[in-house]
Structure 1
Amino acid sequence: MKFKILIWSLIASFAGFLFGFDTVVISGADKALQQLWHSSDFFHGSVVMAMALWGTVIGALFGGIPTNKIGRKKTLLIIGFLFSISALGSSLANNPWVFAFFRFIGGLGIGASTIAAPSYISEIAPAKERGRLVGFYQFNIVLGILCAFLSNFFLSDFGENSWRWMLGIQLFPSIVYSILVLYIPESPRWLLSNNRIEEAKEVLNLFTTQDEQDLLVSGIENTNIPLSETIFIKKYRYPLILVFLISSFNQLSGINAFLYYAPRIFEEAGLGSKTALLSSIGIGIINLIFTMLGVYLIDKLGRRILMIIGSIGYIASLSLVALAFFLQWTGLAVPIFLFVFIASHAIGQGAVIWVFISEIFPNHLRASGQSFGSSVHWVLAAIIPSMIPILFSNYGVGNVFAFFALMMVLQLVFVLFMMPETKGITLEEMNQNLSKQK
């Protein structure tokens, strides 16, 4: 692997760190904000807590437009700006609506990052190492999650305004990320798809041999692309269904609902508030370790094997969590089962989803396909966590986790009978293979 490709991939993937941090940092402010503004469960769940997720939906729906029109690099720069504004504004907010507005801005950054960053990395990565390099994005997501849990724990004793420090501290990594993005080149595949051949060759000269460069340029130049072509035509029905299903199952596991409400879930299981925060840190550590394992294995075992392992782990752990609440098991039972749940997610869906979605559409439609998958993912990621306070109150924690376990049985069926293996195949070869599938 060329050292330059590694560095550029790490810089682009740092958008994932901001994504992970922004997603989870709100969990530390959850109860403090509800008490501060005397919010009902419905308003608190659907506006205060979930507004960033609705911003993420919009960012995912429309993030493909700048990613296609102005390029991957400029979109990554805009993402850094959005995260900076969100961190500063939400930390200074004095009412729930202003707070929700700035959280929405951060959500736009998250949604756009799930399109631009994986697309950029997949387009500069060699086929045999693409899974690992795009996997750095997921690694950074869970690193951001862990840092958010740690930050929340250490800032929790800063008095009644500790939530402001929790949210505002994200400004610093956002600025660092934005500066680093200035030093990466534009994606050569995006340049080629926009007929900027000479600029693409200048970038390719930095990390490819002449033979590799000629092969890539000729392969894209010889592709006949109708201007009216979209991801929704019959030719791309199979990859579209694959993206829809993997994105849906990702959230039907309950992963975002759990990450948003981890301290609350642990308290429901009988742990004290401080112990709940410490258990949340444990979740972050497990997530990071098994994500590293998943990123290491994704180009060795392949995407399908990791998804099978993760699905089996999901089913076992979620079923045990449901039983623990039904039978009122106390002590460390629920935290241990949830550690297994997060490990299963990290090595399976967590390691695979952004890699897989970034691989299966052609260059000129990659951002659109990424946008579709991200939109499905984030619509569910907005709906499910926003409903958690009401679902827990009306149906009980055990029933909610039993539903998630059932959904993971269906995911296992999907992986076994529908999902193709994509490791070690060039993006151009993969597009030809998938477009022929019925």
Structure 2
Amino acid sequence: MPAVRPPVLSDPRKRRFLIKLSGLIAGGMFIDGFILGGIGLVMPAMTKDLGLSFAWQGLIGASALIGIFVGGPLGGYLADKFGRKPLFTIDLAIFLLGSASQFFVTEAWQLFAIRLVMGMAIGADYAIGWPLLAEFSPARLRGKLLAFQEVAWYIGYLVAFAVGYYMSTVFNADWRIILGMSTIPSVIVFLLRLGSPESPRWLISKGRVEEGRAVAAMYMEESELDDVHTETRGSTSIFRLFSPQYRKATIFVCVYWVCNVTPYFAIATFAPIVLESTGIKDGLTGALALNGVVVIGAVTSMFLIEKVGRRKLAIPPLWIGAGALVIIGLFAHVSPVIILACFIIFSFANAVSTALTGVFPGEVFPTEIRGAGVGFATAISRVGAAAGTFLIPLSLSGLGIGATMIIAAVICIIGALVSQRLAPETKGLSLNAASAPL
């Protein structure tokens, strides 16, 4: 018998809407990657211009991550209470103002404060955009569309790194201009988000049943309507994340996310410094190549997720990444070629598993606390990311490259062990079934 192809969205208008919504949310992820991708590149110039200490380097590098820690839970709570639609544009407006302010920085504390606020807006965007996309997406595409958000993040990171590298080497552009370039995509995404609809699942969960069903009928597949209609009302209290029903899900998504992003941010933010410390002379070029590998890894995960499932993409790459980091830690000064190969392996494997950090949080929590769940997981993940970003210059100078990489490998191993125990398989499940208690 010939293979049965999955159904496609028969209504072109609904198909266009889903593509547009995915793109608008991906735009926020692109911007997040963009603001984080450029900071490590301009760190040497900023350090010289502003006279930064090691502590200030770490604080500025981690400032946006600290902001995400605050903005994620706050944005998620507000999105669950007042709806996804109003906050979908407000958070981008705040980010846009912060982005433009970077052109006028003269002191270290100013840059720290601006990027802190930008991080808060981005943190809120995670907790608003991912639930919104999950709540509109058909089950057979949900994983791919959510994973695409991480692809957009990596592309933003890579573009920022590439543009900054080109502008700094060819034009010798001021670091303020390089950082302020995030204003351009921010304006575009902000304008395109105006007029986006409210989540039908959220409307129904708030008792606005007829309104929610009307929105669902206008924008969603027929096959998804029955699942949407079974939405029930429930408490939006963030404390439900720690109830017996959802405690395991909360622990899993937080630990999984932390153990993926902590070593990545620690290495990627200061990639030129890390690579040069292993004996690779052109650290900037090497770091740019690694970011390209990361994009390939995320794209691979996006295309495989609905074929092989979540667990097979979440767990093995953590073990592979840990092994690559152990080799770097033990043989850091033996051969630059071997070290670069291991960095490539780690970057690819880490990107494959990290793509799932955009999938699990949007699936494992029910509608009434989905924003809070994504926001809380975002916040906890950024504790690890901020710690890695802040501590790596201190670790490299105090412990050396070998010990630093071994510590990063241990973090990956913890993530693998917890994931083997708690990671659910949500492939093909309706959103209500996927968010049932673990």
TM-score of the two chains, using structure 2 as the length reference: 0.91
Runs of 4+ residues deviating >6 angstroms: none
Cα distance change, pair 208–51 in 1 and its aligned pair in 2 (3 A): closer
Equivalent in the alignment of 1:281: 288
Q: Are 1:83 and 2:90 counterparts?
A: no
Q: Are 1:372 and 2:376 counterparts?
A: yes
Does the 8 Å CA contact 1:87/1:170 hold for their aligned counterparts?
yes
Equivalent in the alignment of 2:12: none
Does the 8 Å CA contact 1:28/1:166 hold for their aligned counterparts?
no
Deviation at 1:187?
A: 1.5
Deviation at 1:161?
A: 4.9
Q: Are 1:6 and 2:19 counterparts?
A: yes
Q: Are 1:388 and 2:392 counterparts?
A: yes
Please give the root-mean-square deviation of Cα atoms over the aligned residues, in Å: 1.9
Q: Secondary structure at the residue paired with 2:219?
A: coil
Deviation at 1:256?
A: 0.8
Tell me the alpha carbon deviations over residues 153-203 of structure 1, each in whole angstroms, 9 at most, x when there is no partner: 111136665212211111010000011111432211112222223332332
Structure 2 distance, partners of 1:183, 1:134, is 22
Deviation at 1:22?
A: 0.9
Q: Map 1:300-339; keep pairs closer than 5 Å.
A: 300-325=307-332, 328-339=333-344
Cα distance change, pair 121–330 in 1 and its aligned pair in 2 (3 A): same
Structure 1 distance, partners of 2:113, 2:254, is 29
Equivalent in the alignment of 1:231: 241
Does the 8 Å CA contact 2:64/2:117 hold for their aligned counterparts?
yes
Equivalent in the alignment of 1:103: 115
Counterpart amino acid of residue 110 in structure 1: I
Equivalent in the alignment of 1:142: 154
Q: Map 1:28-427; keep pairs closer than 5 Å.
A: 28-46=41-59, 48-157=60-169, 161-208=173-220, 212-213=224-225, 215-220=226-231, 223=232, 225=234, 230-252=240-262, 254-272=263-281, 275-325=282-332, 328-348=333-353, 350-427=354-431
Does the 8 Å CA contact 2:30/2:155 hold for their aligned counterparts?
yes
Tell me the alpha carbon deviations over residues 249-287 of structure 1, each in whole angstroms, 9 at most, x when there is no partner: 2234x1111121111112212334xx2222122112111
Q: Aligned pair count?
A: 424
Tell me the alpha carbon deviations over residues 70-120 of structure 1, each in whole angstroms, 9 at most, x when there is no partner: 322322212322332222112220111111111112111221122112111
Does the 8 Å CA contact 2:233/2:368 hold for their aligned counterparts?
no
Structure 2 distance, partners of 1:187, 1:431, is 16
Does the 8 Å CA contact 2:327/2:342 hold for their aligned counterparts?
yes
Deviation at 1:217?
A: 4.6
Moved more, 410-419 or 120-129: 410-419
Tell me the alpha carbon deviations over residues 101-144 of structure 1, each in whole angstroms, 9 at most, x when there is no partner: 11112111221122112111111011111100111110100110
Identity fraction in percent? 26
Tell me the alpha carbon deviations over residues 359-418 of structure 1, each in whole angstroms, 9 at most, x when there is no partner: 101110101111121111011211221111111111111101111112222222222232
Deviation at 1:296?
A: 0.5
Equivalent in the alignment of 2:433: 429
Structure 2: where are the runs of 5+ without partners? 1-7, 10-14
Moved more, 48-57 or 165-174: 48-57
Q: Secondary structure at the residue paired with 1:401?
A: helix
Counterpart amino acid of residue 339 in structure 1: I
Structure 1 distance, partners of 2:358, 2:235, is 27
Deviation at 1:26?
A: 0.5
Counterpart amino acid of residue 213 in structure 2: K
Does the 8 Å CA contact 2:47/2:57 hold for their aligned counterparts?
yes
Structure 2 distance, partners of 1:410, 1:377, is 14
Counterpart amino acid of residue 21 in structure 1: F
Q: Secondary structure at the residue paired with 2:301?
A: helix
Structure 1: where are the runs of 5+ without partners? none
Cα distance change, pair 171–77 in 1 and its aligned pair in 2 (3 A): same
TM-score of the two chains, using structure 1 as the length reference: 0.91
Structure 1 distance, partners of 2:143, 2:228, is 22
Does the 8 Å CA contact 2:54/2:393 hold for their aligned counterparts?
yes
Does the 8 Å CA contact 2:56/2:108 hold for their aligned counterparts?
no
Equivalent in the alignment of 1:21: 34
Equivalent in the alignment of 2:3: none
